[in-house]
Structure 1
């Protein structure tokens, strides 16, 4: 497979958009606080990324396949965290950390 400048743009775009999920996944995994995370949003995002992955495989587009395979792992993992942490009893859920610049 020969990479041309168009593929490099696709790989760069895929890297940036996929990496954008990392801070949210890391924060949720660390704090286990999922109260403000939308189940509907992450369910639809997971299904959408899965469809993009299938599309990439069908058209044999490496940038689309790679970005969406990693993206599916991240958004699917986030969806799993949301489901698992939401099922915990309320007393076992940590309070969301206060934002440092928030006024009372």
Structure 2
């Protein structure tokens, strides 16, 4: 694998793993009071478009990063939308 691809895979791994602590916290605590619904709505749409772009460009780092990031963002958004926490 060439150095540019390694750079892409490293970047996608780090930015995707950044969501893991938040997902774990939301799933375990089932509290989303301090999380912005609108931010996760916009983020999910943007990540979906990045995923589409990755498929169109056949760019594996972009595809992998955005598949997992979209899953994580949608999990958080799911809990946020079904939450009854006061805002």
Aligned partners of 1:76 and 1:28: how far apart in 2?
12
1:27-85 CA-to-partner distances (Å, cap 9, x unmatched) read 01111111111000000000010000000000000000000011110001111111122
* Match for residue 74 of structure 1 among 63, 72, 75: 72
Number of aligned positions between the proteins: 86
Matching of residue 40 in structure 1 with residue 31 in structure 2: no
Aligned partners of 1:56 and 1:31: how far apart in 2?
33
TM-score w.r.t. the length of structure 2 is 0.93
Alignment of 1:1-104 (within 5 A): 3-86=1-84
Larger Rg: 1
More helix by share: 2
Higher relative contact order (CA 8 A, sep 6+): 2
Q: Which runs of 5+ in 1 are unaligned?
A: 94-104
Q: Which runs of 4+ in 1 moved over 4 A?
A: none
Q: 3-state SS of the aligned residue for 2:83? A: helix
Q: Which runs of 5+ in 2 are unaligned?
A: none
